[in-house]
Each structure stands twice: as structure tokens, then as C-alpha cells.
Structure 1
Amino acid sequence: MGTPNSDEPHLRHVERDVLIPKIMREKAKELCVQHVEVFTQCCKDSGMLMVLKCREENNALKQCLTKHYTDPQFYEDCKQQYIKQKLEYERTGVSAKHKAQRLPTSM
């Protein structure tokens, strides 16, 4: 492991190996949305035979996702997104998810 960037906060094991990869999965799924939709439709149309009938669609989806999962720049982008969210939470005490789900106080 190289020397950490002094501008970045220290990342715990769970952040590096669980939380950042979770962001990667979510973003990769968005970037591969066409493959996800085609595979999902194939599964709906094929019923119990989806394992046999949807191999091509499944392989295309796996290739798209793997391309992103193995891209060091994609990891770095997701890590920076995580760090930004973490710093915002530390500053405000409000997570990004809760901020988006808040209801107006005056109803």
C-alpha cells in the first residue's frame, strides 16, 4: 500500500471493502442499465427456463459490470464520492440518504 494522501481521511477496512464497493455496484448498475433491462425482460419472458434462455443477456450484463468493477479510475471516483458523503455527514450529522428523504416541517 502506498503512502496515504494527507488530504484524504483514513478509510477503515469496512469502508474500503464494503461501503465503497456498494457505491460501485449501484453506479455500475446505472451505467449498465440497458443490459439490466434486457436481462430482466428475458428472465420475465422465460420463466423457469431463464437459466438456459438468458445466458447471452447474462454474460453481456456481467461483462458490463466487470468492466466497471475492475476499472481503477471508477474505484477512485466512487471512493471520492464516498469521502465527500462522509465529510458532509461529519459536518452536518445528516446522511445524504436522509437529506433526500426529508419532508417539509410545515404541512
Structure 2
Amino acid sequence: METSKADEPHLRHVELDVMIPKMMREKAKVLCAPQVEAFTHCCKESGFFMVFKCREENRELKDCLTKHYNDPAFFEECKQEYIKEKEEYQKTGIPAKHRKQKLPSSS
């Protein structure tokens, strides 16, 4: 079920301009994992000369990340995920990173 703009909670400036973009960067790194790996490998192999030797890998990584950063559908997907996490936090008081961890058993 899609929510309309009127149904969405108000998001503060910091949420729209900092928190959601942070989530986008984290997710884009996962989506661009092959490019991240190629660039990292090149840098490790090239040492001091990485600035010159890894230009192509750096360009491919930047292109992949930029493609996601500039995608309005990707922003909307991350915004909806952020809203769900925020609502869950407001209900439980438990941050998302702690909810994903296993709770200790009482036995």
C-alpha cells in the first residue's frame, strides 16, 4: 500500500538533508560493491601511485555512486525506509541498529 504525501510524517531539515542521504550513501556502497572492491584492490596494489594508477576504478566507483545519489526513486525508497525505522523507534524506543541484534534470552 503506497502512502500519499499527506499521510507521511513531517520530516525535519536534518532528516531530509543529512539522515536520509547518509542512508543513501550506505546503501549505494552495497549496490556498488564490485566498484568499491575494484578501487580498494587497486589502491592496495598501487600504494603511493594509486592517484595515477587507479583513475579508471575511481571514475567507475564515482559514476556508480552518483547514479544512485541522483536517482529520485532511490531517494524515495530510502526515505520510506527511514520513516519506517523512525516510527518503529517511536513505538519501541529501541534504535534500528539495536533491534537487529539478538536479544539475550532469559533461560
Q: TM-score scaled to structure 2, two decimals? A: 0.92
| Long gaps (5+) in structure 1 | none
Is it true that 1:35 corresponds to 2:35 in the alignment?
yes
Q: TM-score scaled to structure 1, two decimals? A: 0.92
Superposed CA RMSD: 1.4
Aligned to 2:23: 23
Aligned to 1:47: 47
Aligned to 2:89: 89
Give runs of ≥4 in structure 1 deviating > 6 Å: none
The code of the aligned residue for 1:15 comes to: E
| Long gaps (5+) in structure 2 | none
Instruction: Give the whole-Å Cα distance in 2 for the aligned partners of 1:63 and 1:5.
Output: 31
Instruction: After TM superposition, give the deviation of residue 101 of structure 1 in Å.
Output: 3.0
Instruction: Give the whole-Å Cα distance in 2 for the aligned partners of 1:32 and 1:62.
Output: 9
Q: Percent identity?
A: 66
* Matched residue SS, 2:6: coil
Instruction: Give the whole-Å Cα distance in 2 for the aligned partners of 1:51 and 1:106.
Output: 54
Instruction: After TM superposition, give the deviation of residue 106 of structure 1 in Å.
Output: 3.4
Instruction: Give the whole-Å Cα distance in 1 for the aligned partners of 2:103 and 2:87.
Output: 23
Aligned to 1:75: 75
Instruction: After TM superposition, give the deviation of residue 30 of structure 1 in Å.
Output: 0.4
Per-residue deviation, residues 17-56 of structure 1 (Å, max 9, x unmatched)? 0000000001100000000000000000000000000000
The code of the aligned residue for 1:33 comes to: A
What count of residue pairs does the alignment treat as equivalent? 104
Instruction: Give the whole-Å Cα distance in 2 for the aligned partners of 1:100 and 1:48.
Output: 39
Aligned to 2:7: 7
